[in-house]
Structure formats: C-alpha cells, structure tokens
C-alpha cells in the first residue's frame, strides 16, 4: 500500500501545482493581456502543418475600443445572463442537456433504411447543443485542449470559478473578445472587423456586430459562406435582441 499511497500523494501534489500555475496565470491577466491561448496555438500548428504556412491575424485593443454593438451582440447570442451569473448558467446547461437528450432519442427512434441508396449520404448525427457561458468558453480557450472528457470538463469548471473570482466581468469580456476565433487564423474583434468589414472594431454597426456574433459557434464554416441565408436571418434576430443585453 505504501507505493500506492506515495503515488497518490505525488499525483495530488502535481494537481495542486497545476492549479497554482493557473492561479498565477490568471492573476497576471488582471493587468497583462495574454499573448496567445491554448486554442490559438493548436490552431496555428494545425494550419502550419496542413498548409505549410502560418496565418495568424490578431491585434489587441482595449475594452473601450471595441464597439458596444459587438459586446451586446456577443452577450445576446452567446450568454445573455453574463452579467448576472457567477461563471456557470445552470438553467442554460439544463436546457441544453434536455435538448440534446431529445435529439438523441429522436435519432435512435428513426428506423434506418435496409440499404442505403448509392451516392446517398449517411444520416447526420444529432446536433449537440452547448450551454457554456462566455467565461467557460474563455477558460477552455485559454488553457485547455478540445477533447471532451469529464476530467477536462471538471478542470474547465475550476478555471471558470478562478476567472470569475479574480477578474472583473469587464476584463473577462475584454480578453474573450480579443482572443476568440472568427475565421481561420483570425482571432479577436479587431482582426475580425478588419477582415470582414475593412474597419476597426470600434466602428462596427449593430448588424455587422450581430453577423460576427452569429459566426462564433462555427467561424471557419461561415467564413466560407458569407452569403448564408441562416447567417443573415439569425443576425437580424440577434440585432433585435441586443437592446436587452446588459454590459459589464
């Protein structure tokens, strides 16, 4: 039992050391902008290995230099309770869980054809709906990989609490808007505004901001479909909801 206890003790020390490392990194973000996120570095590596070149467009801008239209649009689209919750929106998680369960049940009840017709694509798997808040998304992008495991989700929860307790809501939103992906190699509000609208992030209109917000769940997909009907119609919906979004 002694070797097992020793290994468990070393594991606990390693986990504690990792959490202290995260605490130090987040504490530094109170005054220092992160140069890159874990997600950005993994994407840069993927693009470099697949295409033989590094595409990375990002320019940090202060919170005051980002249009309030974009702040409201992102909150309305991604996390309408951002200013009120403490990092996790339990109601949104419950709704997402129920919606995913219904989608899985519907897919399971669909009787598969005896034989697929030649050239006919296989039925799509049920769409998974997330309930992550802006803070949870930031925690994942800053420090974690994209794998879906209970261990990673647990670490995301801990990081979310750290971010909420050590940074202001305004700082969380500022870091999020400056680091989130808006296309292949396009990170942050300023790069996105210049890439799609040839203007600074401070001058985005309500509709332009709404279009960028709608792109967030699948930015590389919508980058290739700028004339998407869904993108346009959903942007109209988000633009209509922006007036009710509370800014930190």
Percentage of residues in the chain with pLDDT exceeding 90?
A: 65
- Cα 130–Cα 43–Cα 38 angle in degrees, nearest 5: 70
Q: Distance between CA atoms of 116 and 28, rounded to whole angstroms?
A: 56
Q: Distance between CA atoms of 170 and 247, rounded to whole angstroms?
A: 8
Contact 245, 72 (CB under 8 A): yes
Residues 6+ apart with CB under 8 A from 159: 22, 26, 139, 140, 142, 143, 144
- 42: how many CB neighbours lie within 10 A of its CB? 13
Which of 245, 186, 44, 228 minimizes the C-alpha distance to 197?
186
For the residues 90-101, what does the mean pLDDT come to? 64
pLDDT, tens digit (0-9, with 9 covering 90-100), for 136-184: 999 999 999 877 888 888 999 999 999 999 999 999 999 999 999 999 9
Q: How confident is the model at residue 222 (pLDDT cuts 50, 70, 90)?
A: very high
Q: Find tokens 């190699």 and name the residue.
A: 185
* Bridge partner list, 181: 187
Domains in the chain with CATH codes: 46-107+126-244 (1.10.3810.10)
């Amino acid at each position: 039992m002694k070797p097992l206890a020793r290994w468990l003790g070393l594991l606990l020390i390693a986990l504690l050391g990792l959490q202290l490392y995260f605490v130090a990194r987040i504490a530094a973000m109170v005054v220092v902008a992160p140069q890159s996120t874990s997600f950005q570095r993994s994407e840069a590596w993927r693009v470099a290995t697949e295409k033989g070149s590094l595409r990375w467009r990002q320019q940090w801008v202060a919170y005051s230099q980002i249009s309030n239209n974009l702040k409201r649009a992102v909150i309305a689209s991604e996390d309408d309770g951002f200013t009120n919750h403490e990092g996790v929106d339990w109601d949104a998680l419950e709704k997402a869980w129920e919606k995913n369960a219904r989608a899985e049940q519907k897919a399971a009840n669909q009787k598969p054809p005896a034989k697929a017709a030649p050239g006919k694509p296989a039925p799509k798997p049920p769409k998974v709906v997330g309930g992550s808040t802006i803070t949870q998304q930031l925690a994942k992008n800053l420090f974690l990989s994209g794998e879906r495991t209970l261990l990673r989700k647990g670490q995301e929860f801990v990081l979310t609490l750290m971010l909420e307790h050590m940074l202001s809501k305004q700082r969380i939103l500022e870091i999020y808007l400056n680091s989130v992906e808006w296309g292949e190699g396009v990170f942050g509000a300023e790069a996105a505004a210049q890439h799609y609208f040839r203007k600074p992030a401070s001058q985005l209109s309500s509709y332009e901001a709404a279009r960028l917000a709608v792109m967030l769940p699948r930015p590389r997909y919508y980058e290739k479909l700028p004339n998407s009907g869904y993108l346009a119609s959903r942007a109209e919906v988000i633009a209509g909801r922006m007036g009710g979004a509370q800014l930190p």
